Amino acid sequence: MPATATPIRNDLLLPAIFVPLWSSGFVLARLVAPHAEPLTFLTVRFALALLALAVIALWKGAAWPGTAREWGQALLAGFLIHGLYLGGVFWSVANGLPTAISALMAGMQPLLVTLLAGRVLGERMSRRGAIGILVGAFGTLVTLAPKLGATDAGGISLVPLLICLAGVVSLTFGSIFVKRTSIAADPLTNTAAQYVGALIPTALVVPLVGGPLFDTAATPLWIGLAWSVFGMSLGAILLLLHMIRKGALSKVSSLFFLVPGVSALMAWIGFGESLTVTQIAGLSIATVGVSLASRG
């Protein structure tokens, strides 16, 4: 009995921790946007996360990637999962994309994974799981529909929406890459190496977007930075990479259907952002989709 109890508890506990942690990242982008240029913020965040992981790894005596191949895999994973994905989300939110909508764009990730995982990884999903993915995607489209094409102050600019979508595509390919390569390096040192790769796109683009901006006198910025390093870059990312390695990628990705609802609740509490009745219905449909997908 004890041998089966732990996996069951982990199947419930890890997603229950991961979804709120990951969802908070979209609200965090809104919190720090007035006080820091988004890519500058991410550059500082990645550098501090790298330093924190390196210190922990040295304290534990964890082995670092030992070959050029392992380093290359870690750098590419970090470039895609952290650098391009988070860079796209933070830039989009800072340039007018509502928090809930950016989270909903992330809700498209399970559909992308399902379309690619079977071909690339050989993962097969049941009919119920496939229906769940489609229902979740439909819920995402229903929630987006009222805002798309609007010309008033509540409308969505196309460029931030496309940049956010590009980030989600990068997360999808990064997740598939991590699952396919089955990286055997220590999670602490491998993730630290990933943040080296994450620094490449953000640090290089900062001079092209007006240079660094970081208001050191803003208390919300420091609160957001502390949470982003320890709650997101260490907590959420390590959980995500662990679940990808241990479970089916399509099933792990279906958790992203829950992110829009949790992010919308956080944005409502923290910033007073509201959703229309149609969008709330879309969030409900997406929640039904993740229930079906996770069982399939």
pTM reported for the whole predicted model = 0.76
176-185 pLDDT tens trace:
888 777 666 7
Question: What is the domain partition of the chain in residue ranges?
Answer: 36-210+221-295
Q: Convert the pLDDT of each residue in 57-116 to its tens digit.
A: 999 888 888 888 889 999 999 999 899 998 888 888 888 787 667 777 776 676 677 667
Positive or negative: CA dihedral 88, 170, 140, 149:
positive
Query: Is the pLDDT at 172 greater than 80, yes or no?
Result: yes
